[in-house]
Amino acid sequence: MPEETGFLMNYKNKYSIDTTGGSESPVWAPLAAGINNVEPDFADETDDTAYFDGEGFSNEDVTGLKASLSVSGHRKLGDAAQDYIAGLVFKVGEGRKTQLKWEQPGGKTITGSVTISNIKTTGGDANTKGTFEFTATFNGKPTVTPTP
């Protein structure tokens, strides 16, 4: 697939959630219907160390990373991905873990185990669509398949 140029439209990113809870035979459901915002967050853990040969200036090294996606939009009943995530509200521990797949424009794919947190399945004014929100945080390093 040829690499695109110009301004990237966010809808070209494709997100899917494994509705089996991370089994060996995942069933992928697209996170698309009702979703109008996805915010990736890559929180770096860093070490800042000053050495004598740096004349008082420090060097920064990234020593760790916490990667997550904050997903929000409107609750759409009957959507497989949203119904699965809504069903996790009262679960804890392993019950909140599954897999997430992020297919980027151009073909790069990021897949890995995630923990689902901060689930919100409703809310808002009486005359508006119900809200839907959650955060998917990668557990360890995901598998990154480069652009073919």
Does any domain span residue 139?
yes
Spell out the residues 6+ positions from residue 56 whose beta carbon is closer than 8 angstroms to its own: 50
Residue 106 has a pLDDT of: 87
Q: What is the pLDDT of residues 97-134, one digit of tens each?
A: 999 999 999 899 999 999 999 999 999 899 999 999 99
Does any domain span residue 3?
no
Does any domain span residue 56?
yes
Task: Tell me: pLDDT of 147 over 90.
Answer: no
Distances, alpha carbon 44 to alpha carbons 66, 68, 77, 116, 120, in Å: 7, 12, 36, 20, 26
100: Cα separation from own chain's centroid: 7
Instruction: State if pTM tops 0.85.
Output: yes
State which residues form the domain around 51: 10-145
